[in-house]
Amino acid sequence: MKKSLVILAAFTYIGMTAALYAAFLYAPTERTMGEIQRIFYFHVPAAWVSFLAFAVVFVGGIAFLRTGKSHWDVLAYSAGEVGVFFLTLVLVSGPLWAKPVWNVFWTWDARLTTSLVLWLIFIVYLMLRSSLPGEKGARFAAVFGIIGFLDVPLVYMSIRWWRTLHPAPVLGGKSGSGLEAPMLATLMIALFGFTLLLILLLYINYKISRAEKDLELFDKEWRNGEI
Amino acid sequence: MLYKDILVELRSKEILNGMLLFSLVIAVIFGFIFEPGSEELKTAGSGILWILLVFSGNIGLARSFNREYENAMMQGLLLCPIDRSAIFPAKWIGNMIFISFELLILIPLLVVLFDLPLGEHRLGLAAVLLLGVAGYSAVGTLFSTIAAHCRAREVMLPLLLFPVIVPILLAGVKASALLMTDAGLKEAGSWIKILAAVDIIFITASFLLYEHIVEE
């Protein structure tokens, strides 16, 4: 194993352990929501990290289309997979938190709907990738990833407008305003831990995808009797 | 190129016929779901219109590209002594014309079938629909080229297209609903602005990205 990977893994371990400790033991119990509010420290960082991953898909896609170098494509694809993984965590942990607090699993508010649309877009991105192998698939997926990422702020804005222009029953906002200091500190630690986890997963996934690609190439050459 | 597409369509009429009949079938289903002339239908009218637009447009887009790839038409197209960047505008405008033309026949039909209220601002409504069609067919042209290469192309196109066009749909449905009921013209104006902004972003992005996906 490479030294850099070991160091990265060690830091991620420390970061995530600190996040777990802070979320369950250090942070005070929220007054109205109770223990369930601790999901917050995983839900929000996972959302943040998935967004970061999709930004990597976007940047990787542009870089690939401009340079045509396959490592950008591998990076974008790995980021897409990791991003979908984290966003799935968000979409699972959200309803678990919402049911006891809002009394419903799901509400069609701007954030929730945008996350769902984003999730759909990037699931389709992965699907497109798997249905079109090779260089062509890489280019098409890059194009789709770019449009998909551009779409996210548009979806968010239009849904927010949709709701604010029409008075809809809002079942309570996020507890974003006026966080207590220990809670804010916990959130920051969790954000840090999750970002490290993202980098680690992305790194490993990238290496695996590269290796897969090399193996494919090797296999092809082997069959053709070039080796 | 644009001329060629329209010519082929005029000869075969397969896209338009397909789109129209498909929308009619869906309209009939809506007729069973909603009581004709009821209040529900009046409020859902704009939504129905846009659903028909999106679904039938999807069929038209898929057809228009599969046609190019059957018989290796695209190869011939790329060998032509024309600028490659001309393919996208021609295809885009062609698709726009097909979908708009279909709406031109469809809307009177809906008025007859459902007693759909169009409101006082017909021109505004037409402008909203046209804006929607413009953005929709820009992304649609881009994605139908992608989908034409995929294994499950019939499934791939709506999967690629529908999540991405959510902003167009939201703004379009809202603006046309407000126009159709003559309520909140000022609000309709702000929705039209959003629609136009989304259009500009989509059309520019599709235009810039298209050259990366045209090939034999």
A23 CB-contact burial (10 Å; exposed 0-12 / middle 13-18 / buried 19+): buried
pLDDT score recorded for residue B73: 62
Q: Is A65 on the interface with B (CB under 8 A)?
A: yes
Facing residue for A154 by CB, picked from B174, B198, B209: B198
The percentage of residues in chain A with a pLDDT greater than 70, rounded to a whole number, is 91
Residue B175 has pLDDT above 60, yes or no: yes
Contacts 24+ apart (CB under 8 A), A105-111: A107/A171, A109/A159, A109/A163, A109/A170, A110/A156, A110/A159, A110/A160, A110/A162, A110/A163, A111/A156, A111/A174
The residue among A106, A86, A79 whose CA lies nearest residue A171 is A106
Q: How far apart are CA A93 and CA A73, in angstroms?
A: 30
pLDDT score recorded for residue B36: 65
State pLDDT tens for residues B35-53: 766 777 777 788 888 988 9
The residue among B94, B181, B190 whose CA lies nearest residue B133 is B94
SS3 content of chain A, % helix, strand, coil (to 5): 80, 0, 15
Cβ density class A91-122: b for 16+ within 10 Å, e for less: bebbeebbeebeeeeebebbebbbbbbbbbbb
In angstroms, the separation between the Cα of residue B11 and the nearest Cα of chain A is 32
The residue among B187, B146, B209, B100 whose CA lies nearest residue A132 is B146
Would you state the structure tokens that stand for residue B19, as one six-digit string? 């789109």
**Cα–Cα distances in angstroms (integers) from residue B28 to residues B98, B113, B115, in the given order:** 22, 9, 13
Question: What are the residues whose beta carbons fall under 8 Å from the beta carbon of A96, sequence distance 6 or more?
Answer: A36, A39
Q: Is A148 on the interface with B (CB under 8 A)?
A: yes
The percentage of residues in chain B with a pLDDT greater than 90, rounded to a whole number, is 10
State pLDDT tens for residues B88-108: 888 888 888 888 988 888 888
Measured between CA atoms, the residue of chain A closest to residue B216 is: A136
In angstroms, the separation between the Cα of residue B111 and the nearest Cα of chain A is 27
pLDDT score recorded for residue A41: 85
State pLDDT tens for residues A136-187: 888 889 999 999 898 888 887 777 776 655 444 444 444 445 567 788 888 8
Rounded to an integer, the average pLDDT of B156-182 is: 86
Q: Please judge whether A157 and B167 are an interchain contact, meaning their C-beta atoms are less than 8 angstroms apart.
A: yes
On chain A, the residues whose CB falls within 8 A of the CB of B143 are 144
Q: How far apart are CA B84 and CA A54, in angstroms?
A: 30
Which amino acid does the sequence have at A73?
D
pLDDT score recorded for residue A80: 92
Facing residue for A124 by CB, picked from B159, B190, B212: B159
In this structure, chain B runs to a length of 216
Q: Please judge whether B166 and A117 are an interchain contact, meaning their C-beta atoms are less than 8 angstroms apart.
A: yes
DSSP A227: -
Per-range mean pLDDT, top range of B66-70, B156-160, B209-213: B156-160
Per-range mean pLDDT, top range of A93-97, B80-84, B118-122: A93-97
pLDDT score recorded for residue B2: 65
Interface test with A, best of B141, B155, B170, B198 (most A CBs within 10 A): B170
Which amino acid does the sequence have at A33?
M
DSSP A26: I
Q: Please judge whether B205 and A147 are an interchain contact, meaning their C-beta atoms are less than 8 angstroms apart.
A: yes
In angstroms, the separation between the Cα of residue A195 and the nearest Cα of chain B is 27
The percentage of residues in chain A with a pLDDT greater than 90, rounded to a whole number, is 20
Q: Is A110 on the interface with B (CB under 8 A)?
A: no
pTM value? 0.83
Q: Please judge whether B164 and A65 are an interchain contact, meaning their C-beta atoms are less than 8 angstroms apart.
A: no
Q: How far apart are CA B52 and CA B47, in angstroms?
A: 9
Size of interface A-B (CB pairs under 8 A): 78
Q: How far apart are CA A161 and CA B121, in angstroms?
A: 23
Residue A111 has pLDDT above 60, yes or no: yes
Question: What are the residues whose beta carbons fall under 8 Å from the beta carbon of A226, sequence distance 6 or more?
Answer: none
Q: How far apart are CA B6 and CA A58, in angstroms?
A: 36
CB half-sphere exposure, A74, CA atoms < 13 A: 15
Residue B116 has pLDDT above 50, yes or no: yes
